[in-house]
Amino acid sequence: MDSCTSALLLREMGYAPIGVRLVLHQGDDLNDQNRLKALRSMGIEVLEVDGRDVFHRAVIKPFLEDYESCRTPNPCVICNENAKLKLLFDEADRRGIELVATGHYVKKAVYRERASLARASFAPKDQSYMLYRIPRRWIDRLIFPLGDMSKEQVRRYVAQEMGSPDMAQGDSQDICFIDGALDDFLLSSLGGSSSPGPMLSVGGEVLGRHRGLCLYTEGQRKGLGLGGGPWFVVKKDIKANSLILGRRENVEVRRIRASSPRWHHPVEVGASYDLQHRYRSRPQRGTLVSLDDRGMEVLLDYPAYGVALGQSLVFYDGDRVLGGGIIDWTANW
């Protein structure tokens, strides 16, 4: 729906958009098929690009490897960098097309005299966090028609332009390639590499049994199946196959290290930034205490909760995206 809306808005702006349907995994949404037919009937060309091999190699495989290593990855971050947007730019380059538009809820703005990614006007749908890893060179060529729209405005626009409320139904899934529960997908995909083991308190008391370390995330409270709570996941001990649980104070985080850095703008050690450690988390103020080619470390002004290894730490200056990295270490000191 979002991509179709972008195509129609681009045409209103005077562009001659060419739609691209990326086939990334098995399964197709009937609403999407109907919207594509409607676009073609309205005179907008729609291409089909088979990206299933790229998607499996660049997204699904590392996603499973991360979970097997007891990290909690964000596949959308990796997909935008290595699959979805890469395929779009490859297709545009093959055709000699300069500009690429997407249905992401994000804006472009000028920051320090350079084009920058910026938060969308409608905060609940903002996807700037998901795009921080895209190459700097792509930003100048990108257009985001939905940056100032809410989801409800998009639904109304689609229903009006395509002549049917049915065209405005449906929404994207959290993880597009998983049809069903994440736990079931992980257990069936990882097989015997994730086996049950003990749940221990931070003091070493046996509290119960976990179903496989890959099914849990640092800071998790729900779904532990224990009394006497609330309990939170503090750590996953891979060598002992133990899940370490504690109270809320045991999952406080003040220091975060992140690796595999990607910067759109320079940052400075000793400077303070708005920091976001997962897609839906509220940004927190923190200071950059170290920085090199391998990564960075920050000290938060106040403790954060639910900081998971494998998620991204994204730096903002106000609503402008500066860059970030993949979280690989946390501490509370």
As annotated, the active-site residues are: 79, 176
- The residues that bridge with 204 in the sheet, in sequence order, are none
Return the structure tokens found at 213. 């370390």
Contact 213, 67 (CB under 8 A): no
| Residue 244 CB partners (closer than 8 Å, separation 6+) | 200, 201, 202, 233, 234, 235, 236, 237
Positive/negative CA dihedral, 148, 154, 160, 162: positive
| DSSP H helix total and E strand total for the chain | 9, 16
Contact 24, 84 (CB under 8 A): yes
Give how far Cα 15 sits from Cα of 12, 142, 257, Å: 7, 14, 43
Neighbours of 14 (CB within 10 A): 6
E strands present in 19-111:
19-23, 46-50, 100-101, 106-111
Return the structure tokens found at 149. 């729209």
> Tokens 């808005």 belong to which residue?
9
